[in-house]
Amino acid sequence: MLKTIRTFSWLLLALLLLGCTPSGEQSYVVGGDVAVGEELVTAYGCGSCHVIPHIPGANATVGPPLTNWAERVYIAGALPNRPGNLVQWLMDPQAIEPGTAMPDLSITEQEARDMSAFLYSLR
């Protein structure tokens, strides 16, 4: 019994120290900059299709609202909501879901990382 409690305590401590989300992946995007991502979301006009907190005028309803992004379970209804998956989705949504209304904006990997960092900051 004591061994079980000790094991559970170590596991809980490890999760807290790693800053993991319930999905087990860290909640930040490696190499992403939240402030730059917010600027890019504005510059690419993401608010013309989505509701996005902190983005003036981003109140469209063509695509799903991007509120509380970090709490989402899936990206595009199919991919687990993890930073690497979001980066890939932003870079080439048609490769992941052919025919999706999400346009290919020719976003670079760095831009996708920055935009992802911003989206994961929305809690």
> In the prediction, which pLDDT does 87 show?
96
* Confidence band, pLDDT 50/70/90 cuts, at residue 123: confident
Query: Which 3-state string (H, E, C) describes 24-60?
Result: CCECCCCCCCHHHHHHHHHHCCHHHCCECCCCCCCEC
Q: What is the pLDDT of residue 18?
A: 37
pLDDT (0 to 100) of residue 25 = 35
Entry pTM: 0.76
pLDDT value at residue 7: 52
- pLDDT value at position 78? 84
* The pLDDT value given to residue 80: 96
Residue 29 has pLDDT above 50, yes or no: yes
Express as a percent the part of the chain with pLDDT over 70: 77
- pLDDT digit string, tens, across residues 55-77: 988 989 899 999 999 999 999 98
The domains of the chain, with CATH numbers, are 21-120 (2.60.40.420)
Which residues face 45 on adjacent strands? Answer: none
